[in-house]
């Protein structure tokens, strides 16, 4: 097999569908706001890592309300929905019920209910055993039947008034054929097409790609109805199709004679899992790598995943700020900023759930050598605090405050500082920004201050604040696109795509205005002009991310942090 000749395409529509995404967000928000035990009626998604993460947050999946022991709890109805009778039963038990039914499933329930109340019988075209169907049947006033497709229409009796609806993840062709045949089975027929848009889009892409692919890999749970449907489409149209749940299910012989591979996934398959599969396919197809190139690639991933590159970026920013402030270069302050950032980012990354293609490196760092990497991170943090103490005790106190919040952030509610941090939306980006701006810009200004901090230093601190805030938000964008489990403490998650990028472009304009003001003040004009030129890089990156052109996580993180290195290099040359 020659990898060059094999074309690998990953579906643009792959990743969590909006219904699943919103249900997960809702549950995570609840776990932050409330201390009560949370149950989901059935698993939110069929993914082991996500389920484990939810368990750690005191969120358990139950199959029936009978499993609830303490009634002082919250029960979440998942995206599939449940019958109204079951919902009433849940409420009568006395526990708090939170409805995370997908709005598109609710629309289907409503269509059924309206016609059922007018005396219509209901036919649902879907999977008889699926939870969504059980929920939909509950709205039919006891006059509902389920067929899996047009081939079962002949088994039905004649109806006076009939409403035909689809399971939201049904294939449009199957539904249309069934509806057509049902015309003969009813005096009055209402066709309610309740197939959801994300499913239509996903299936359309699979149809288009399958007809031109030699091998289609469908990723997702074997018990997921929508994944099975994607597989059936692929099996029909592609030369070969496989349905897998994990990278280990791939084998070399699957790729014999294959020139074009298409990878798609079901609605509850996280993006990072799809990236893992894509990477595994590349590994199977590629020629044995030059050991030197392999080593370089591993070191690069290690530097990014282990936050070493981020620490170097913070050192670069400190250097830029010192030059911009016109204070003497202090290697001690640069080392302090780097150690501080390294410590916090390593500890936070170790606790992330779900990762992109950096999984092997993550395994190496945070599983195989977990104690070692934690020890290095804590020692770095303590070293940063010791260095801050040698400057003065006020610097130490502020550094200790930011470090304390940073290390407690990913933990549960028993840590007061963690709760403080999670109190308001976007808090994670703001605390990160204050911590960096303090260490990289304010401490150098304090060191260089005679009687008081100069106005140039104030501009430099503001410059650092804006730059780091943009970095933090962009990293958050990448995390959400990798389906990492993050909450509203992440700016992007809290405000959404368009407001995020309006804010970022506005901050970019302020960043440029800050530098331009320094230029007008005739302050180190060569340096200021160089930095203005260097910022064009961020403008390009912002524009690409705004158009959702976001690469896999390791590359994206590299592209974000490189901005600081570019600015430091231009500062050095200026």
Cβ atoms of residues 166 and 195 within 8 Å:
yes
Cα 76 off chain centre by: 21
Cα 511 off chain centre by: 28
175 or 255, CB closer to ligand SF4? 175
Q: Which of 29, 52, 67, 132 is catalytic?
A: 132
Binding of ligand SF4 at residue 102 (CB under 6 A)?
A: yes
Q: Which residue number is nearest to ligand SF4 in terms of Cβ?
A: 19
Helices (H), 414-524: 416-422, 427-437, 443-448, 455-481, 491-495, 497-520
Shortest distance, CB of residue 201 to ligand SF4, whole angstroms?
A: 10
Binding of ligand SF4 at residue 541 (CB under 6 A)?
A: no
Q: Is 3 a catalytic residue?
A: no
20 or 441, CB closer to ligand SF4? 20
Shortest distance, CB of residue 78 to ligand SF4, whole angstroms?
A: 9
Shortest distance, CB of residue 10 to ligand SF4, whole angstroms?
A: 19
| Residue span binding ligand SF4 (CB under 6 A) among the ranges 17-25, 203-211, 297-305, 399-407 | 17-25
Shortest distance, CB of residue 135 to ligand SF4, whole angstroms?
A: 11
Torsion of CA 63, 65, 69, 72, to 10 degrees: 120
304 HSE (CA, 13 A, CB side): 24
**Spatial distance between the Cα atoms of 573 and 571, rounded to a whole number of angstroms:** 5
Give SS3 for 226: helix
Shortest distance, CB of residue 195 to ligand SF4, whole angstroms?
A: 8
| Residue span binding ligand SF4 (CB under 6 A) among the ranges 56-64, 97-105, 119-127, 350-358 | 97-105
Binding of ligand SF4 at residue 20 (CB under 6 A)?
A: yes
Contacting residue, 19, 135, 381, 534, with ligand SF4 by CB under 6 A: 19
Among all chains, which residue has been given the structure tokens 């060569």?
526
Tokens of 260: 């074009």
Shortest distance, CB of residue 315 to ligand SF4, whole angstroms?
A: 44
**Spatial distance between the Cα atoms of 119 and 380, rounded to a whole number of angstroms:** 71
Shortest distance, CB of residue 44 to ligand SF4, whole angstroms?
A: 11
* Site map (CB under 6 A) of ligand SF4, residues 23-62, x = contact: ----------------------------------------
Please give the size of the binding site for ligand SF4, defined by CB under 6 A.
15
Contacting residue, 6, 14, 17, 550, with ligand SF4 by CB under 6 A: 17
**Spatial distance between the Cα atoms of 452 and 519, rounded to a whole number of angstroms:** 22
Shortest distance, CB of residue 133 to ligand SF4, whole angstroms?
A: 12
Binding of ligand SF4 at residue 314 (CB under 6 A)?
A: no
Contacting residue, 122, 168, 500, 571, with ligand SF4 by CB under 6 A: 168
DSSP string for 87-114: HHHHHHHT-EEEE---HHHHHHHHHHHH
- Give the residue among 195, 190, 188 at the shortest CA–CA distance from 163: 190
Number of H helices, E strands in the chain: 24, 12
Contacting residue, 9, 18, 26, 447, with ligand SF4 by CB under 6 A: 18
Tokens of 190: 């209402």
**Spatial distance between the Cα atoms of 504 and 218, rounded to a whole number of angstroms:** 36
| Residue span binding ligand SF4 (CB under 6 A) among the ranges 191-199, 370-378, 457-465, 475-483 | 191-199
Contacting residue, 41, 105, 263, 460, with ligand SF4 by CB under 6 A: 105
| Residues between 497 and 526 that touch ligand SF4 (CB under 6 A) | none
Cβ atoms of residues 491 and 500 within 8 Å:
yes
Shortest distance, CB of residue 251 to ligand SF4, whole angstroms?
A: 30
146 or 322, CB closer to ligand SF4? 146
Cα 161 off chain centre by: 45
108 or 466, CB closer to ligand SF4? 108
Which H or E run contains 279?
helix 271-285
| Residue span binding ligand SF4 (CB under 6 A) among the ranges 101-109, 207-215, 229-237, 391-399 | 101-109
- Give the residue among 421, 425, 432 at the shortest CA–CA distance from 494: 425
Give SS3 for 345: helix
Contacting residue, 169, 213, 271, 307, with ligand SF4 by CB under 6 A: 169
| Residues between 222 and 251 that touch ligand SF4 (CB under 6 A) | 226
Contacting residue, 104, 317, 361, 395, with ligand SF4 by CB under 6 A: 104
Shortest distance, CB of residue 482 to ligand SF4, whole angstroms?
A: 19
109 or 524, CB closer to ligand SF4? 109
Shortest distance, CB of residue 20 to ligand SF4, whole angstroms?
A: 5
Burial class (CB in 10 A: 0-12, 13-18, 19+), 156: middle
| Residue span binding ligand SF4 (CB under 6 A) among the ranges 13-21, 291-299, 382-390, 398-406 | 13-21
Answer positive or negative: Cα dihedral of 349, 355, 358, 364: positive
Contacting residue, 11, 76, 79, 358, with ligand SF4 by CB under 6 A: 79
Answer positive or negative: Cα dihedral of 423, 496, 264, 283: negative
Which residues does 511 contact at the CB level (< 8 Å), separation at least 6?
463, 466, 467, 470, 535, 538
107 or 374, CB closer to ligand SF4? 107
**Spatial distance between the Cα atoms of 254 and 392, rounded to a whole number of angstroms:** 64
Cβ atoms of residues 340 and 454 within 8 Å:
no
Burial class (CB in 10 A: 0-12, 13-18, 19+), 551: middle
Binding of ligand SF4 at residue 198 (CB under 6 A)?
A: yes
Give SS3 for 179: helix
128 or 154, CB closer to ligand SF4? 128
Binding of ligand SF4 at residue 125 (CB under 6 A)?
A: no
Binding of ligand SF4 at residue 196 (CB under 6 A)?
A: yes
- Would you please indicate which residues are annotated as catalytic (active-site) residues? 132
Question: Which residues of this chain interact with ligand SF4, rule CB under 6 A?
Answer: 17-20, 79, 102, 104-105, 168-169, 196, 198-199, 226, 267
């Amino acid at each position: 097999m020659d990898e060059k000749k094999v074309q690998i395409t990953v579906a643009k529509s792959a990743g969590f569908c909006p219904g699943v995404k919103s249900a997960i967000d809702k549950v995570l928000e609840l776990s932050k706001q409330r201390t009560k035990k949370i149950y989901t009626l059935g698993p939110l998604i069929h993914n082991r890592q996500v389920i484990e993460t939810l368990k750690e947050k005191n969120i358990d999946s139950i199959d029936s309300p009978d499993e609830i022991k303490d009634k002082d709890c919250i029960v979440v109805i998942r995206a599939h929905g449940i019958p109204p009778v079951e919902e009433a039963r849940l409420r009568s038990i006395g526990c708090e019920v939170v409805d995370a039914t997908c709005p598109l499933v609710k629309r289907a329930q409503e269509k059924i209910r309206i016609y059922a109340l007018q005396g219509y019988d209901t036919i649902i075209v879907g999977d008889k055993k699926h939870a969504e169907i059980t929920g939909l049947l509950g709205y039919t006033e006891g006059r509902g039947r389920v067929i899996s497709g047009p081939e079962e229409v002949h088994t039905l009796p004649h109806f006076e008034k009939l409403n035909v609806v689809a399971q939201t993840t049904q294939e449009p062709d199957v539904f249309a054929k069934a509806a057509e045949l049902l015309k003969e089975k009813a005096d009055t027929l209402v066709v309610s097409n309740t197939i959801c848009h994300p499913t239509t889009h996903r299936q359309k892409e699979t149809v288009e790609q399958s007809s031109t692919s030699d091998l289609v890999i469908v990723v997702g749970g074997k018990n997921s109805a929508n994944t099975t449907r994607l597989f059936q489409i692929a099996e029909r149209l592609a030369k070969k199709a496989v349905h897998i749940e994990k990278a280990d299910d791939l084998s070399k012989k699957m790729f014999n004679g294959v020139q074009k591979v298409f990878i798609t996934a079901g609605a509850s398959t996280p993006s990072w899992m799809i990236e893992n599969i894509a990477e595994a396919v590349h590994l199977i197809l590629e020629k044995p790598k030059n050991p030197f190139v392999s080593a370089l690639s591993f070191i690069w991933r290690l530097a990014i995943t282990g936050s070493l590159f981020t620490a170097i970026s913070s050192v670069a920013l400190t250097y830029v700020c010192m030059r911009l402030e016109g204070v003497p270069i202090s290697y001690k302050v640069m080392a302090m900023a780097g150690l501080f950032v390294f410590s916090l980012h390593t500890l936070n990354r170790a606790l992330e759930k779900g990762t992109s293609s950096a999984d092997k490196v993550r395994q190496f760092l945070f599983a195989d050598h977990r104690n070692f990497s934690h020890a290095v991170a804590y020692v770095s943090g303590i070293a940063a605090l010791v260095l801050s103490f040698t400057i003065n005790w006020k610097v130490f106190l502020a550094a200790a405050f930011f470090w304390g919040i940073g290390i407690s952030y990913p933990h549960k509610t028993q840590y007061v500082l963690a709760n403080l941090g999670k109190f308001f939306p976007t808090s994670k980006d703001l605390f990160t920004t204050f911590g960096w701006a303090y260490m990289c810009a304010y401490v150098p200004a304090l060191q260089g201050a005679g009687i008081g901090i100069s106005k140039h230093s104030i501009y430099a601190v503001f410059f650092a604040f804006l730059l780091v805030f943009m970095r933090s938000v962009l990293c958050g964008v990448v995390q959400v696109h990798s389906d990492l489990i993050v909450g509203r403490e992440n700016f992007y998650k809290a405000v959404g795509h368009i407001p995020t990028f309006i804010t970022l472009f506005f901050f970019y304009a302020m960043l440029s205005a800050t530098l331009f003001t320094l230029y007008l003040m005739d302050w180190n004009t060569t340096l200021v002009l160089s930095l203005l030129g260097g910022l064009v890089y961020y403008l390009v990156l912002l524009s690409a991310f705004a158009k959702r052109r976001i690469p896999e996580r390791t590359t994206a993180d590299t592209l974000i942090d490189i901005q600081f290195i570019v600015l430091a290099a231009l500062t050095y040359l200026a």
